Amino acid sequence: MSGTTTAARQREAAPVPSPGAGPDPAGGAGRWTVLVVLCASLLLVAVDATVLHVAVPAVSEDLRPGSVQLLWIVDAYPLVCASLLILFGTLGDRIGRRRVLLFGYALFAVASALAAYADSAAVLIAARALLGVGGAMIMPATLSILRQVFPDRRERALAIGIWSAVAAVGAAVGPLVGGLLLEHFWWGSVFLVNLPLMAVSLPVGRWLLPESVSDGRGPWDVLGALLAASGLFGVILGVKSAGSGALLSPAVWLPLGAGAALLTLFVRRQRGREHPLIDVGTLTRAAFGTSVGCIVLTVLALVGLALIAAQYLQLVLGLSPLETGLRLLPLSLAAVAAGLVGSRLLRLLGPRTMVALGFTVTALAVLCLTGLGEQDRPGLLAGGFVLLGFGLETTLFGCYESMLSEAPPGQAGGAAAVGETAYQLGAGIGIALLGSVMNAAYGPGVRDVEGVPGAAGADAGHSLGEAYEVAAQLGGARGEALREAARSAFVHGLHMTLLVSAVLLLLGAVAALRLPRRME
């Protein structure tokens, strides 16, 4: 893309600051203070996405939800959040990004209080859905405000590095925070901790954050926004249903088909509008489209693996949730380090080499972790996690920076929403794909254990946790044989999953060759 074209596009869609919106972010101190506020709110949303995982047993014991209700308690937040990202991202471009962000803060606080004191599974599901609405308001707004506050690409690269490191750390420490709270308080405390943070974020955000909108030409496409939200809901619901292993079930293909049809209508509608919510042509540009695809591929390869790794640490090595969180700490610290040096690496290597290198390092880390077995190897585990955290953050940093720099400033909210939607979609596909690989490799190893009845072996083939329960019921030599077979089968499944992840990551390194060679 030529510099002339970029400049013209920026003049057409330059953000319009609102008067009296707080301190001018043009000053160095103002910009970095704004970044701190944005990262604090992002950290809260990222933590909340994973903090409930360790509280599920306590919730089940207290509220006694059915199996379907329990699934929705866990999935309501990410499903609703991912579905509404484009809706609220583009709405912020029109009515004000700070305004949407502050509404998100308020809704997040109300939903957190409702979730903390929920007295039934239905109330908790509704509260988790409201949290998803608040999260969808907050996440794209933070990135689009960052795009406006840091117009210089080199400074913006550093800011995005810090932003993406905070997102990675938040998701990683969520289970650790949940484990610490549950050691001293009831399960509602994992939601209640949000209230004081939101109480501070609302007035501070109103005072410090600048307001901006796009040029505002043409009405906001309400029907288009609803098509995008409904289509994404269907696609992500289908992908999440596929994670249960029933790939041919109507619960998978019906929402997938309906969602794909609605998204097709959305794209056709945007192509025909003079003032679209999202410039579909932007997605076809090499830098933007490739960055979005690489985000999907990165998260796809790793998020399912992260869940399997947590099971390995707790069920194979016998670590507690707190010990598991501490073992994952090197990954978080390496991600922070990669975010802090990311802007220098980007200037030195350029987007193409940086993203390809990140994919390659992450693939190398995954291959190193195939050396794990039934015995604890803390040195190998820590070294693999350091490489994994550094490679993952390097890849995501390069992708987000290239994507956001390619987008017109007036559509920063929509562009940020596309990136976050890609992340959520990659997470859902990763859990479905890698979960299927794991099940295919694990199941045969426990279904035909000598001396174990066929029905018991079939139940044990569902998961390692269920295998341990069946082994405890059998007892004696048969139970011990099943337990050992299940541990061995799980490690074999882990190795197969790692190899598939490595292949996906190497494909990502090849795809990254379509990115620009240098920063423009």
Give the pLDDT confidence score for residue 155 in this predicted structure: 77
Going by C-alpha positions, the residue among 170, 176, 196 that lies closest to residue 46 is 170
Cross-strand bridge partners of residue 212: 17
Give the pLDDT confidence score for residue 28 in this predicted structure: 43
Asked if residue 5 belongs to a domain, the reply is no
Asked if residue 20 belongs to a domain, the reply is no
Asked if residue 10 belongs to a domain, the reply is no
Going by C-alpha positions, the residue among 197, 214, 52 that lies closest to residue 124 is 52
What's the Cα-to-Cα distance from 102 to each of 114, 122, 214, 260, rounded to whole Å?
19, 27, 18, 32
Give the pLDDT confidence score for residue 519 in this predicted structure: 61
Question: Which two three-digit tokens encode residue 83?
Answer: 């579905």
- Is 419's pLDDT higher than 80? no
Residue whose pair of structure tokens reads 């290198």 in the numeric block: 357
Asked if residue 256 belongs to a domain, the reply is yes
Letter for the amino acid at 14? Answer: A
In a shared domain, residues 207 and 155: yes
Give the pLDDT confidence score for residue 158 in this predicted structure: 79
Q: What is the mean pLDDT of residues 349-376?
A: 89
Residue 23 — pLDDT band, cuts 50, 70, 90?
Answer: very low
Rounded Cα distance, 282 and 111, in Å: 35
Give the pLDDT confidence score for residue 49 in this predicted structure: 65
Rounded Cα distance, 468 and 252, in Å: 29
Percent of the chain with pLDDT over 70: 80
Domain endpoint, select from 189, 212, 235:
212
Rounded Cα distance, 481 and 472, in Å: 11
Domain endpoint, select from 212, 242, 267:
212
Asked if residue 332 belongs to a domain, the reply is yes
- Is 3's pLDDT higher than 60? no
Select, from the ranges 23-32, 296-305, 343-352, 376-385, the one with the highest average predicted confidence (pLDDT): 376-385
In a shared domain, residues 92 and 169: yes
Give the pLDDT confidence score for residue 27 in this predicted structure: 42
Rounded Cα distance, 447 and 463, in Å: 11
Across the chain, how many H-helices and E-strands are there? 21, 2
Mean pLDDT of the chain: 76
Give the pLDDT confidence score for residue 5 in this predicted structure: 37
- Is 57's pLDDT higher than 80? no
Q: What is the mean pLDDT of residues 38-44?
A: 78
* DSSP 8-state class, residue 325: H
In a shared domain, residues 419 and 497: yes
Residue 307 — pLDDT band, cuts 50, 70, 90?
Answer: low
Q: Name the domain count of the chain.
A: 3
Q: Are 339 and 391 in contact (CB under 8 A)?
A: no
Of 451 and 110, the one with more pLDDT: 110
**pTM attached to this predicted model:** 0.73
In a shared domain, residues 37 and 182: yes
The range of the structural domain enclosing residue 316 comes to 281-519
Residue whose pair of structure tokens reads 């893309």 in the numeric block: 1
In a shared domain, residues 172 and 292: no
Letter for the amino acid at 185? Answer: F
In a shared domain, residues 233 and 308: no
| Angle at the Cα of 360 from the Cα atoms of 171 and 490, rounded to 5 degrees | 60
Residue 363 — pLDDT band, cuts 50, 70, 90?
Answer: very high
Select, from the ranges 195-199, 390-394, 433-437, the one with the highest average predicted confidence (pLDDT): 390-394
Structural element, H or E, at residue 83: helix 67-95
Asked if residue 24 belongs to a domain, the reply is no
In a shared domain, residues 259 and 185: no
In a shared domain, residues 202 and 339: no
Cross-strand bridge partners of residue 213: 16
What's the Cα-to-Cα distance from 520 to each of 3, 162, 283, 354, rounded to whole Å?
8, 21, 18, 15
CATH number of the domain within which 118 lies: 1.20.1250.20
Domain endpoint, select from 158, 178, 212:
212
Asked if residue 329 belongs to a domain, the reply is yes
> pLDDT, tens digit, for every residue of 247-300?
667 777 888 888 888 888 888 887 777 767 676 666 667 677 788 888 888 877
Q: What is the mean pLDDT of residues 30-40?
A: 79
- Is 490's pLDDT higher than 60? yes
Give the pLDDT confidence score for residue 44 in this predicted structure: 74
Give the pLDDT confidence score for residue 520 in this predicted structure: 63
What's the Cα-to-Cα distance from 440 to each of 297, 334, 428, rounded to whole Å?
21, 32, 18
Residue 53 — pLDDT band, cuts 50, 70, 90?
Answer: low
Give the pLDDT confidence score for residue 515 in this predicted structure: 80
Asked if residue 70 belongs to a domain, the reply is yes
- Is 392's pLDDT higher than 70? yes
Rounded Cα distance, 399 and 512, in Å: 9
Least confident of 43-57, 114-128, 499-513: 43-57
Catalogue the long-range contacts made by 491-495 (C-beta closer than 8 Å, 24 or more residues apart). 491/312, 491/316, 491/372, 491/373, 491/374, 492/441, 492/442, 492/445, 493/308, 493/437, 493/438, 493/439, 493/440, 493/441, 493/442, 493/445, 494/308, 494/309, 494/312, 494/372, 494/438, 495/370, 495/441
What's the Cα-to-Cα distance from 160 to each of 34, 205, 340, rounded to whole Å?
13, 19, 9
In a shared domain, residues 289 and 158: no
In a shared domain, residues 140 and 259: no
In a shared domain, residues 353 and 460: yes
In a shared domain, residues 196 and 235: no
